[in-house]
Each structure stands twice: as C-alpha cells, then as structure tokens.
Amino acid sequence: MDKARPLWDTPLQFVFACISYAVGLGNVWRFPYLCQMYGGGSFLVPYLIMLIVEGMPLLYLELAVGQRMRQGSIGAWRTISPYLGGVGVASVVVSFFLSMYYNVVNAWAFWYLFHSFQDPLPWSVCPLNSNHTGYDEECEKASSTQYFWYRKTLNISPSIQESGPVQWEPALCLILAWLLVYLCILRGTESTGKVEQLANPKAWINAATQIFFSLGLGFGSLIAFASYNEPSNNCQKHAVIVSLINSSTSIFASVVTFSIYGFKATFNYESCLKKVILLLTNAFDLEDGFLTASNLEQVKGYLASANPSKYSEVLPQIKNCSLESELETAVQGTGLAFIVYTEAIKNMEVSQLWSVLYFFMLLMLGIGSMLGNTAAILTPLTDSKLISSYLPKEAISGLVCLINCAIGMVFTTKAGNYWFDIFNDYAATLSLLLIVLVETIAVCYLYGLRRFENDLKAMMGHTLNWYWKIMWAGVSPLIIISLLLFYLSDYIITGTLQYQAWDASQGQLVTKDYPPYALAIIGLLVAASIMCIPLVALGTFIKHRLKQRATGPMA
C-alpha cells in the first residue's frame, strides 16, 4: 500500500496556488495589448463571454479530473482510459518546454531588479561613446531604454543565425531564478500554496485564446494541484473563484497599463514639442523662452511667411508631434514589460522605488506561474513508482531544475531572445488547444459524462449543474475546434514565418525570415507534444495485443 498522498493544509492554500499559477505575466503584458488593439472597453464583451462559456467550464473540468483521479496528469488520463496516457505525457512535454523558456523572463526581471538600486537608473541615460564627446550611436538612434534592453541585457545579435557564447550575466540571473524555483518546490505541494499579494471575429478569437492561455489549461498544472485536494473539496466553487480572480487581475492590470501608456505618451509628446521648439529657436535665433507649446503653430506660420527659404531648410527636421500617434503604439510581451514600463518609470519621481516594486511584482507573477509549471512536471514523475523508488523527491526536483537550467542557457546567448520568441509563440499554442480538446472529448465521451457526473456527486455531495454538462459536452469543444481551425489556416495562409530582429545600425526592429533549421525546430516543438497522444495510444495498444497473445494460448 503506498503512503498517503500529501494534502493541502487548507482549501484556501489550494485556491491561492491556482491563482498564483493562473495570474502570470500574460495578465500584465498580453491582455492590455489585446484590449488596446480591439477597441478598449468593448473587448471586455467577448472576453467575459468566452470566460463564461470556455474558461470556467474547462477550468472546472481539469480541477475535477485531478481531484477525482488523485494523480498527476499522466496517471489521471491513464485511469480515464489506458490509451489516453499520451494526453498526460503531452501535457508534461508542453510544461517542460514552457518551464525551459519561461524562467528566462524571471532571470531578466532579476537583472532589472538588481540594476534598480542605482542613481540614475541605468536605462535612463545613454552611455558615452569612445572619445567621450557624445552619446553612443546605437543609443542615440534608438532610445536609452531600448538600448539597455537590447544591448546591455540581451546583447542581441542582428539575426538568429549569428549566435554567440553564453553571456555570463543573464546566465547568473537564470541560475538564481532556477535556484529560487527549486527552493520553493523542494518542500513539495505544501510550499507552493503561497499567499499572493493580482465585433470583429479577431477580437473574439483573441478573447478565446487569451482566456485559454491565461488560465493555464492543458499544462497539467491544474490537475496536479487538484490531485492534492481532499476528495470532498468543492472544486466547482474554486474553479469559478480562480477564473474570476484571474480575469479581474487582467482587467486591473490593463487599467494600470493604460495609465502607464498615457503617462509615457504625454511625456514623449511634450519632449517632442520641446525638441521642435529648440530647433526653431536655434534656427531663427528667437528669444529664449518666447516659443511655447501654445503659440507654436502661430509662430511656425509666421516664420514660414516671413522667412520662407530658411523655413524650408529647417522643415524636414521638424517632426509633427501628435499625442494620438504616441498613444497608438501598442506593444505586448517583453517589449511592454521591459521597454515601455521602464521608460515610464525612469521619468517618475523616486524612480528607484517604483522600479524595484515593479520588477518585484514581475518576479512574483513569474515565479508563481513557474511553480505551477514545475508542479505539472514533478507530480507525474513523483507519482510514477519507477522513478520515485530510485530517487527521493528532492533529487527529482533538483534534476528537473538542473536540466531545465542547462537547456535554458540557450536563451542567454546573443541570439537567445529570438529563440525565446520561437518558444513563446509556438511551443505551447497549438499543442495546448489540441490537448484540451482531447481532454474534453475523453472525459465526456470516452469516460462517459454520466459516469463522471456520478463520480463528482459521490466526491462532493451535490449534483452537477446542467450548465456545466452542456458546456463540457458541446460548447467548449466546438469553440476549441474553431480556434484550432482558425490558427491552422492562419499558419498555412501566411506562408513562411517571420520574426523581428534588432538592427543596431538603425536602432530599430526589422522583419526577417526564419532560416530553415529554425522552421524545423518550430515544427519539432509542435509535433513533439502532439505526437505523444497517438504514439502512447499506439504503444498501449501494441502492449495489450502482446499481452493478449501471451495469455491467449494459456487460456
């Protein structure tokens, strides 16, 4: 008889673990971007609808499966059907890919956090050039925050082909990030329940996708967390709570992000005006302080008429400052977190304090999600009798962290950010959709919705609401299928995939095509997780056949 499964101390610990996992960097840097791109407040409509028809049902399904089967993802799906162990394996593979690259963001957050204790902040000033007569050229062409991100943090190469050796500074930060994750998961489940101090068909598709990935469905983390629950735990209530908190954190984060955008846009607009004023004052030797923002247009008109030849000389250099164009720059991902936010922070009073707080917040979000990811990998491994008989839990955790850290060093090379983007865009997206689709169909049609309903009733004591049944059996799978079809057709139509590379000579991003080997790796990433499902099913089928043939003659 195996020893009793560790349990959460209180149901609240479980809820906090789920929230900590679900509320991650995506809430901060993806959702506000989507809001901005798809009409601001009106994006909330498709988002909330998708939350109710897709997010909550699927979250409840995963939690219920974990709580009922009381095993990690591989064991849980094998219990539902022996041929479906592959779904669990696919989840573990995807979680493995995710943990490889996700912790790099925490490493970057650490880097920025450590650099926040300086005056002035290193990303607020450009470094000097070699003979100290001016500022560094790349920094002048771009901005000081972009320079600090692309040159000092990433030391990025001009393209994905030109890789370099591992950079020791981000490598050190990555090691620290993994050490911290290891420290948190060392004690197992008990330590991950931390208290956390967070119209257009494209809009609908993006809302559905955002809900899906924001809740972290399909990684096996939710199953892992729920497997440590008491069987009588009311995971329906918890599913609703977690998804609501996740969404409200997203909305709150976008309110903050929009105010940051506004601050940055206003500041840049005023700087632009100041530059134009200085240019005109110097060109026409006007009195210092005469030109202000209010009389700028008037004076420009006067100068154009009074001195047309000189004005036409200066005209090409005069930028048209517009607040709207500043506000329209929508950024997502690492660009938002590390460039736009730092640019806003550097212009605030007591910028060191805000910087420390901000990167500490990013770290909390990132580490919280990392713990969920590693739980998704470790729970099946520690459940498996084969591995846990040889190695104690600490050694398995350590080994997983070590392997991930070693592979993660790829992302600290000069071309590391390009590989990061590949993993971020392709490692989890398509595979997760397929995994969750198979999960939903497996529970509803292979295991049987009625049988599952009876299990839940026995576990939790109350009957399953008809709403969940309709969602699980019909609506959610349909939504996922349509998302899958859309993304597949999108990939096929757009042809070759492209990426944004940083051009140091121009000081901006340029679009380039992926080389063939990068495309091969993308294909491998997607295939590696998806292929697990049919391969394991096939393997189980063959094993059964062999066993039948072995026992057949004896009977």
Partner 1 sequence: MAKVALSGGWNFFSLCLPCVFHSERMLWLLFFLVTSVRAELCQPDAENAFKVRLSIRTALGDKAYAWDTNEEYLFKAMLAFSMRKVPNRETTDISQVLLCNVTQRVSFWFVVTDPSKSHTLPAAEVQTAIRMNRNRINNAFFLNDQTLEFLRIPSTLAPPTEPSVPTWIIIFGVIFSITVVATMLLILSGIRERRRKNEGPSEMENTEDKCENTVTIENGIPCDPLDMKGGHINDAFGTEDERLTPL
Nearer CB in complex with partner 1: 183/546: 183
Q: Which of 73, 78, 79, 66 is nearest to 96 (CA)?
A: 73
The answer to whether 125 contacts partner 1 (rule: CB under 8 A) is yes
Nearer CB in complex with partner 1: 101/110: 110
Q: How far is the CB of 100 from partner 1 (least distance, A)?
A: 20
Grouping H, G, I as helix, E, B as strand and the rest as coil, residue 383 is: helix
Grouping H, G, I as helix, E, B as strand and the rest as coil, residue 508 is: strand
Q: Which member of 11, 39, 114, 252 binds partner 1 (CB under 8 A)?
A: 114
Whole-angstrom distance, CA of residue 126 vs CA of residue 130? 13
Q: How far is the CB of 393 from partner 1 (least distance, A)?
A: 8
Whole-angstrom distance, CA of residue 478 vs CA of residue 535? 25
Q: How far is the CB of 287 from partner 1 (least distance, A)?
A: 4
Q: Which member of 392, 448, 515, 534 binds partner 1 (CB under 8 A)?
A: 392
The answer to whether 182 contacts partner 1 (rule: CB under 8 A) is yes
Q: Which member of 9, 117, 230, 546 binds partner 1 (CB under 8 A)?
A: 117
Q: Which member of 45, 52, 79, 135 binds partner 1 (CB under 8 A)?
A: 135
Whole-angstrom distance, CA of residue 367 vs CA of residue 25? 10
The answer to whether 180 contacts partner 1 (rule: CB under 8 A) is yes
Nearer CB in complex with partner 1: 90/291: 291
Nearer CB in complex with partner 1: 82/398: 398
Given its phi and psi angles, is residue 128 left (phi above 0), alpha (psi -120 to 50 degrees) or beta?
A: beta
Q: How far is the CB of 176 from partner 1 (least distance, A)?
A: 5
Nearer CB in complex with partner 1: 73/342: 342
My answer on whether omega of the bond before 82 falls inside 30° of 0, hence cis, is no
Q: Which of 274, 256, 272, 277 is nearest to 325 (CA)?
A: 272
* Other Cβ atoms within 10 Å of 319 Cβ, number: 11
Q: How far is the CB of 297 from partner 1 (least distance, A)?
A: 21
- Quickly list DSSP for 260-326: HHHHHHHHHHHHHHHHHHHHHHHHHTPPTTT--TTTHHHHHHHHHHHSHHHHHHHGGG-----HHHH
Q: What part of residues 140-179 is at the interface with partner 1 (CB under 8 A)?
A: 172-173, 176, 179
Q: How far is the CB of 522 from partner 1 (least distance, A)?
A: 34
3-state SS of 412-465 is: HECCHHHHHHHHHHHHCHHHHHHHHHHHHHHHHHHHHHHHHHHHHHHHHCCCCC
- Quickly list DSSP for 175-243: HHHHHHHHHHHTTTHHHH-PPP----HHHHHHHHHHHHHHTTTTSSHHHHHHHTS-TT--HHHHHHHHH
**Residue 27 annotated as lining a ligand binding site:** yes
Q: Residue with structure tokens 């096939």?
A: 538
Q: Residue with structure tokens 């590696």?
A: 528
Nearer CB in complex with partner 1: 120/448: 120
Whole-angstrom distance, CA of residue 437 vs CA of residue 431? 10
Nearer CB in complex with partner 1: 134/534: 134
The answer to whether 134 contacts partner 1 (rule: CB under 8 A) is yes
Nearer CB in complex with partner 1: 115/512: 115
**Residue 454 annotated as lining a ligand binding site:** no
Total residues binding partner 1 (CB under 8 A): 35
Q: Which member of 162, 190, 394, 490 binds partner 1 (CB under 8 A)?
A: 394
What is the dihedral angle through the alpha carbons of 480, 486, 489, 490, rounded to the nearest 10 degrees? -120
The answer to whether 297 contacts partner 1 (rule: CB under 8 A) is no
CA 524 from centre of chain: 20
Q: How far is the CB of 237 from partner 1 (least distance, A)?
A: 33
**Among 130-138, 139-147, 193-201, 535-543, which window interacts with partner 1 (CB under 8 A)?**
130-138
**Residue 23 annotated as lining a ligand binding site:** yes
Q: How far is the CB of 388 from partner 1 (least distance, A)?
A: 13
Whole-angstrom distance, CA of residue 298 vs CA of residue 290? 12
Strands 498-503 and 508-513: antiparallel
Whole-angstrom distance, CA of residue 409 vs CA of residue 167? 9
The answer to whether 110 contacts partner 1 (rule: CB under 8 A) is yes
Q: Which member of 251, 286, 497, 521 binds partner 1 (CB under 8 A)?
A: 286
Q: Which member of 128, 255, 256, 402 binds partner 1 (CB under 8 A)?
A: 128
Q: How far is the CB of 352 from partner 1 (least distance, A)?
A: 11
The answer to whether 289 contacts partner 1 (rule: CB under 8 A) is yes
The answer to whether 187 contacts partner 1 (rule: CB under 8 A) is yes
**Binding site for Na(+), residues?**
22-23, 27, 214, 246, 365, 369
**Binding site, residues?**
22-23, 27, 214, 246, 365, 369
Binding-site ranges for partner 1 (CB under 8 A): 1, 110-111, 113-115, 117-118, 120, 125, 127-128, 132-135, 172-173, 176, 179-180, 182-183, 186-187, 281-282, 285-290, 392, 394
